[in-house]
Amino acid sequence: MSMNRRQFLSSTAATAASATLMGLTGSRAFAAGEEKINVAAIYDLSGGLDIYGKPVMDALRFAAEEINAKGGLLDKQINFIAYDAQSNMQLYAQFAQQAALRDKAAVVHAGITSASREVVRPVLNRYRTLYFYNNQYEGGVCDRNYFAAGVTPAQTVQKLAPYAVKQWGKKVYIVAADYNYGQIVSNWVRKYAADVGGQTVATEFFPLDVTDFGAAISKIQAASPDFVWSGLVGGAHMSFYRQWKATGMTGKIPLASTTFAGGNEHIVLSPEECNGFLVCQNYLQELPGAANADFVKRFHARYGADYPYITELAMGAYQGFMLWAEGVRKAGSIDRIKVIEALESGIAIDAPSGRVSLDPATHHCTLDVHIAEVRDRKLNLIESFPQQKPGDTAAVCDLIKNPADNRQYAIKF
């Protein structure tokens, strides 16, 4: 399970190259007339967000291969087409259009950040191509063509922020990525901490390419909070945790996060740099139960026993793929509207993370979440919360009543 950053990035680069090749050869094979179902995936396999994109693409490919090994869908094999967006919004737009028009994809799985999602979503709407966004995000997107397989703040922040306040104290200092996700999730942290008597003493945002956190750490030391909440994102922001340890703060002021470990930070960093951090996620590789143990065994058989870690974001992608496949089976077709109607009928699967059900009104998922402690490159389960609903998005979105709705709401507290 040990893996240094050089090994991790080398593996990512190899996957990026093979994935791009797969995208090109896959589309040509389909154009030649083979009876296959095209499924496209667009993720960051290079660039600043590759720490998330590689595990996600691996999980999607794995799902497609498992379905194909069992006979495919509707007696057809899945043709998996993978694109490396290179953390570039222009490439996200370009590849989304290619997936819709050239590949004639039955569904597109795409996007890590909110920015990439909001580039892809209108393109796929325009060309009437079904879209699955499998990442954790800030919530509030209401769009009949869009399905969200990841968690929202009402499912994870709502559990972890009160837990941290009760465990460590009332004063929280928030550091977060300076874009839609970080800003909105910080609002949720403030709300859920305040609900149990907590107080946010400061909030500081950082662009995704920032690597120097010395001034921020000095401010945190001066504020002397009871704990830090991290909404940091991406490879550059990993520098915060290293500098946090270098200044002697690890172990002095505890840290909670719903983004940490999503990019294998707990594998790339040394145990001394992150032991004791608390996270809340839908999936942990260490989850008990035969279903998860069997999944991990199969995954390692495919990618190697030394695969660094199966992340929550990877599991979200696997779940999203399997939910779409279940919709196709129920619809008996890959027709977009028929699949949407099937998915809106209350589709559910038993995933390695537990029961995952699609809420017809929001197109978001009800699922289990877990608080865990980072310890020696593992996520040790502390407490589980079964079947958490996407309450934040449900407060603003009802696609059964308003199927033409198509926007992201700013959810009022």
Domain final residue, candidates 281, 313, 347: 281
Q: Could you list the residue range(s) of the whole structural domain that residue 171 is in?
A: 156-281
Does 161 lie in the same domain as 269? yes
- pTM of structure: 0.90
The answer to whether residue 213 sits within a structural domain is yes
Does 335 lie in the same domain as 391? yes
Does 315 lie in the same domain as 257? no
Task: Answer yes or no: is pLDDT of 26 > 70.
Answer: no
Domain final residue, candidates 281, 304, 324: 281
The answer to whether residue 364 sits within a structural domain is yes
The answer to whether residue 274 sits within a structural domain is yes
Does 193 lie in the same domain as 99? no
Segment among 22-26, 203-207, 243-247, 351-355 with least mean pLDDT: 22-26
Does 124 lie in the same domain as 241? no
| % of the chain exceeding 70 in pLDDT | 92
DSSP string, 51-71: HHHHHHHHHHHHHHHHHHHTT
Does 184 lie in the same domain as 110? no
With bands split at pLDDT 50, 70 and 90, how would you rate the model's confidence at 413?
A: low
The answer to whether residue 316 sits within a structural domain is yes
Per-residue model confidence (pLDDT) at position 411: 87
Cα dihedral 270, 275, 279, 282, rounded to 10, equals 60
CATH of the domain at 91: 3.40.50.2300
Q: How many domains does the chain have?
A: 2
Does 305 lie in the same domain as 252? no
User: Per residue, what are the HEC states of the chain?
Assistant: CCCCHHHHHHHHHHHHHHHHHHHHHHHHHHHCCCCEEEEEEEECCCCCCHHHHHHHHHHHHHHHHHHHHCCCECCEEEEEEEEECCCCHHHHHHHHHHHHHCCCCCEEEECCCHHHHHHHHHHHHHCCCEEEECCCCCCCEEECCEEECCCCCCCCHHHHHHHHHHHHCCEEEEEEECCHHHHHHHHHHHHHHHCCCCEEEEEEEECCCCCCCHHHHHHHHHHCCCEEEEECCCCCCHHHHHHHHHCCCCCCCCEEECCCCCCCHHHHCCHHHHCCCEEEECCCCCCCCHHHHHHHHHHHHHHCCCCCCCCHHHHHHHHHHHHHHHHHHHHCCCCHHHHHHHHCCCCEEEECCEEEEECCCCCCEEEEEEEEEEECCEEEEEEEEEEECCHHHHCCCCCCCCCCCEEECCCCC
The answer to whether residue 10 sits within a structural domain is no
The answer to whether residue 380 sits within a structural domain is no
The answer to whether residue 272 sits within a structural domain is yes
- pLDDT tens for residues 294-307? 999 999 999 999 99
Segment among 20-29, 82-91, 192-201, 263-272 with least mean pLDDT: 20-29
Q: What is the spatial distance between Cα 338 and Cα 356, in angstroms, rounded to a whole number?
A: 21
Does 165 lie in the same domain as 236? yes
Q: Is 204 helix (H, G, I), strand (E, B) or coil?
A: strand
Does 135 lie in the same domain as 116? yes
Does 147 lie in the same domain as 44? yes
Q: What is the spatial distance between Cα 120 and Cα 114, in angstroms, rounded to a whole number?
A: 10
- pLDDT tens for residues 111-162? 999 999 999 999 999 999 999 999 999 999 999 999 999 999 999 999 999 9
- pLDDT tens for residues 307-324? 999 999 999 999 999 999
Per-residue model confidence (pLDDT) at position 34: 59
Task: Answer yes or no: is pLDDT of 12 > 50.
Answer: no
The answer to whether residue 73 sits within a structural domain is yes
Domain final residue, candidates 237, 253, 281: 281
Does 146 lie in the same domain as 90? yes
Mean confidence (pLDDT) of the chain: 92
Task: Answer yes or no: is pLDDT of 293 > 70.
Answer: yes
